[in-house]
Amino acid sequence: MAAGAAGTARTSGERRPRGLIAGAAALLASFTALSAAGPATAAPPGTFPVAGTAVSGGRSARTAAMIGPGRSRDTIGPGQTRWYRIALDASATADLAVTAVPEPGAATGYGDGIDVALTTASGDPCGTGTAPFGQDAAAAPLTAAVSRVPSHDGTDPCDKAGPYLLAVHRTTGDGSDRARWPLALLVSTEPPLPAGTTPAAARTDYGTAPAPATGTPRDTAGGSGFDDAARIGAGVWRDRLRPGRTRWYRLHLGWGQQLSYAAQFANAPALGGHVDTYVTTGAYAPGRLPVADASAGAAGGTAHAYDGTPVTAGLGTVPVTWTNRWTDDATSQPVHQAGDYWIAVTLGPVASGQDTSVGVVLRVEVTGTELAGPQYKAPPLAGPAGAHASSTASPAAGNSRGPHGTSGRTREAASDGGTLPGGLHGADLAAFGVGGALALAGMTATALLHRARTRTDRSRA
pTM: 0.78
Q: Work out the burial of residue 332: count CB atoms within 10 Å of its CB; fewer than 13 is exposed, 13-18 middle, 19 or more buried.
A: buried
Q: Name residue 235's beta-bridge partners.
A: 364
56-106, pLDDT tens digit by residue?
999 999 999 999 999 999 999 999 999 999 999 999 999 999 999 999 889
Q: Distance (Å, rounded) from C-alpha 253 to C-alpha 364?
A: 12
Write down the pLDDT at residue 271: 60
Nearest-5° Cα angle at 202, 197 to 207: 140
Q: Name residue 129's beta-bridge partners.
A: 11, 116
Q: Return the H-helix or E-strand segment holding 83.
A: strand 81-88
Closest CA to 185 of 327, 84, 260: 84
Closest CA to 454 of 88, 67, 111, 6: 111
Domains 4-196+401-460 and 218-367 share a fold: yes
Write down the pLDDT at residue 353: 60
CB neighbours (10 Å) of residue 435? Answer: 16
Q: What are the per-10-residue average pLDDT scores of the chain (461 residues)?
A: 46 35 33 33 63 97 97 98 98 96 91 97 95 88 95 92 98 95 97 96 95 96 97 98 95 98 88 75 97 94 92 98 91 95 94 78 98 97 56 34 32 31 38 42 44 41 44
Write down the pLDDT at residue 120: 98
Pairing state between β 65-66 and 81-88: parallel
In the chain, % helix, strand, coil (3-state, to 5) comes to 15, 35, 55
Q: Which CATH number fits domain 4-196+401-460: 1.10.3720.10, 3.40.190.10, 2.60.120.380, 3.90.1170.10?
A: 2.60.120.380
236-248, pLDDT tens digit by residue?
999 999 999 999 9
Amino acid residing at 369:
T
Q: Which CATH number fits domain 218-367: 2.40.50.140, 3.30.1490.190, 1.20.1240.10, 2.60.120.380?
A: 2.60.120.380
Closest CA to 120 of 78, 65, 166, 64: 166
Pairing state between β 339-347 and 65-66: unpaired
DSSP state of 331: T
Domain ranges of the chain: 4-196+401-460, 218-367
